[in-house]
Amino acid sequence: MSNIVLQVEDLHTSFFTRAGEVKAVDGVSFFVREGETFGIVGESGCGKSVTGLSILRLLPEPSGQVTKGKIILEGKNLLELSKKTMRAYRGKMISMILQDPMTSLNPVYTIGDQISESVRLHQDLPENMVEGEVISALRLLRIPDPEVRTREYPFQLSGGMRQRVVGAIAMSCRPRLLIADEPTTALDATIQAQYLALFEDIQVKTNVAIIFITHDFGVISRICDRVGVMYAGKILETAPTRDIFKAPKHPYTAALISSVPQLDKKDEKLFSIEGQPPSLLHLPPGCRFQPRCTVAMDICKEQEPPEVKLDENHSVSCWRVK
């Protein structure tokens, strides 16, 4: 757990539109160790997925640009690599599971064809060994009858099975880092639990570092070792998952956790955070959460809080924490 696979330092990603500059990611820093799952949690539109796409350098060009920062994968700054070299890194060193398997899979190609494409591109194998690697990837994701599945099309599989196929494509070349962008959103509770257990099993077998992007704190508690709470393009609090749930330090973190329904409580009304996240085109002065914060002070409305390190693993950006 001591080897750092990915180090993100002061990452800034903007989208340049006719209306102005949208600062989707604004000074984000974190790291992920080998064999560790780091969760990024927050409301929709806070910059979670853009952070993942920035790491892969898959931003829509020319509007989307990383304007500042470093993305260091095992000693290499990905932002300094040529486009050709970066293409070689994607799939082999770093992979991503996208949210919707129906849009990730091509309906006119078989499952075997879609997985073998990555194997052929990144592994120097003779053709007669490619099918074996495809079947191995399907088995890693616990897909039954992999020899049969390779000849089937996406429409012949259930939603949960398609999601596993997307995972098989991502893991086919045994990457060092896997980014999972809300992979359980379309799954029901039973299949979701199985899928999360599958992630843990894959990590034990491969020691892959995982960035798990979600808006669900229940999923965070189930699978993540550490978590970064993101809001309006910034990470407001980073800590081990147990510490986040036991003693959240940022009001936004505490509010998100309070929003999770608890079966042992029979409250008449579920807790909700009043208001909406700010427009990234027109950010409020001071702390970005202060317009919705119930404990905001005058300084919160005037100055952006600095990051305070409470200990080696816990940091928070809030004027109430000193």
Q: Kindly report, residue by residue over 46-59, the tens digit of the pLDDT.
A: 999 999 999 999 99
Q: How many angstroms separate the Cα of 45 from the Cα of each of 25, 98, 206, 233?
A: 10, 16, 32, 8
| pLDDT for 267 | 62
| pLDDT for 268 | 66
pLDDT at 108 over 60: yes
What is the arithmetic mean of pLDDT over 236-256?
Answer: 95
Percent over 70 (pLDDT), the chain? 97
Tell me how far apart the alpha carbons of residues 38 and 56 are, in angstroms, rounded to a whole number: 16
pLDDT at 261 over 80: no
| pLDDT for 103 | 78
What is the arithmetic mean of pLDDT over 233-240?
Answer: 97
| pLDDT for 1 | 46
Residue 60 has what DSSP assignment? P
Tell me how far apart the alpha carbons of residues 207 and 201 are, in angstroms, rounded to a whole number: 10
What is the arithmetic mean of pLDDT over 13-41?
Answer: 96
Tell me how far apart the alpha carbons of residues 101 and 85 are, in angstroms, rounded to a whole number: 27
Task: Please name every residue paired with 14 in a beta bridge, in sequence order, or none if there are none.
Answer: 23, 65
Sign of CA dihedral 245, 176, 62, 29: positive
Asked if 196 contacts 222 with a C-beta cutoff of 8 angstroms, the reply is yes
pLDDT at 93 over 90: yes
Mean pLDDT over each residue of the chain, to the nearest integer:
91
pLDDT at 122 over 60: yes
Q: Which residue has the tokens 């006119």?
A: 108
What is the arithmetic mean of pLDDT over 220-244?
Answer: 95
Q: Give the type of residue at 54.
A: S
| pLDDT for 262 | 73
3-state secondary structure of 203: helix
Phi, psi at 209, each rounded to 5°: -85, 135
Which position has the higher pLDDT, 270 or 68?
Answer: 68
pLDDT at 153 over 80: yes
Sign of CA dihedral 277, 280, 282, 284: positive
Tell me how far apart the alpha carbons of residues 187 and 191 are, in angstroms, rounded to a whole number: 6
Q: Which residue has the tokens 């995982």?
A: 210
pTM surpassing 0.75? Answer: yes
Q: Per mean pLDDT, which range of 31-35, 58-62, 72-76, 95-99 is the poorest?
A: 95-99
- Write down all domains in the chain, each with its CATH number in brackets: 4-93+175-263+270-316 (3.40.50.300), 108-174 (no CATH)
Nearest to 199 by CA among 173, 229, 220, 227: 220
